Amino acid sequence: MKKISFFLVIFFTFAASGVFSQDIIYKTDGTKEEAKVLMVGDEEVRFKKFNNLEGPEYLMDIREVVLITYENGDYDMFQSQPASKSSYSKPDLTEDYTKNILNYHFFDVFYGDITFSYERIMAKGFLGLHVPVSFGWAYNSDYFQGPNDEWVKNLFYSGVGLNFYPTGQGKVRYFVGPKLLMGYGQQTYWTYYYDEWGNYYDDEVSHEGLYFKWMVDNGIRFTPVKNFSFAAILGIGARFFPEAEYSDEVVRPTGHFGFNISYRF
- pLDDT tens digits for 201-242? 777 778 899 999 999 999 999 999 999 999 999 999 999 999
Of the three residues 39, 57, 84, the one that is the final residue of a domain is 84
pLDDT surpassing 80 at residue 33: yes
Burial 154-183 (b: 16+ CB within 10 A, else e): bbebebebbbebeebbbeebebebebebeb
High-pLDDT (> 70) share of the chain, %: 83
* Co-location of 71 and 158 in the same domain: no
pTM for this predicted structure: 0.61
pLDDT surpassing 50 at residue 86: no
For residues 152 and 160, give the distance between their C-alpha atoms in angstroms, rounded to a whole number: 20
Rg of the Cα trace of the chain? 36
* Co-location of 167 and 210 in the same domain: yes
* Co-location of 64 and 139 in the same domain: no
92 contacts: CB under 8 Å, gap ≥ 6: 170
* Co-location of 195 and 119 in the same domain: yes
* Co-location of 66 and 159 in the same domain: no
Task: Answer whether residue 221 is part of any domain.
Answer: yes
CATH number at residue 230: 2.40.160.20
253 contacts: CB under 8 Å, gap ≥ 6: 236, 237, 238, 239
pLDDT surpassing 60 at residue 198: yes
Q: To which H or E segment does residue 13 belong?
A: helix 2-17
For residues 121 and 165, give the distance between their C-alpha atoms in angstroms, rounded to a whole number: 10
Domain count along the chain: 2
* Co-location of 165 and 257 in the same domain: yes
Average pLDDT over residues 165-185: 96
* Co-location of 33 and 137 in the same domain: no
**pLDDT at 91 (0 to 100):** 65
* Co-location of 77 and 104 in the same domain: no
- For the ranges 100-104, 107-111, 195-199, 216-220, the lowest mean pLDDT is seen at 195-199
Residue 132: burial class (beta carbons within 10 Å; 0-12, 13-18, 19+): buried
pLDDT surpassing 70 at residue 199: yes
For residues 260 and 265, give the distance between their C-alpha atoms in angstroms, rounded to a whole number: 16
Of the three residues 55, 84, 113, the one that is the final residue of a domain is 84
* Co-location of 76 and 114 in the same domain: no
* Co-location of 240 and 139 in the same domain: yes
pLDDT surpassing 60 at residue 142: no
* Co-location of 78 and 123 in the same domain: no
Q: Do 77 and 66 meet the contact criterion of CB atoms below 8 Å apart?
A: yes
Domain with 117, as residue range(s), is 100-264
Task: Answer whether residue 46 is part of any domain.
Answer: yes
* Co-location of 65 and 192 in the same domain: no
**pLDDT at 187 (0 to 100):** 85
**pLDDT at 150 (0 to 100):** 60
Average pLDDT over residues 81-85: 50
Task: Answer whether residue 224 is part of any domain.
Answer: yes
**pLDDT at 17 (0 to 100):** 44
Of the three residues 49, 84, 119, the one that is the final residue of a domain is 84
Give the pLDDT band (50/70/90) at residue 190: confident
Residue 195: burial class (beta carbons within 10 Å; 0-12, 13-18, 19+): exposed
Q: Do 138 and 186 meet the contact criterion of CB atoms below 8 Å apart?
A: yes
pLDDT surpassing 50 at residue 181: yes
Task: Answer whether residue 171 is part of any domain.
Answer: yes
pLDDT surpassing 80 at residue 85: no
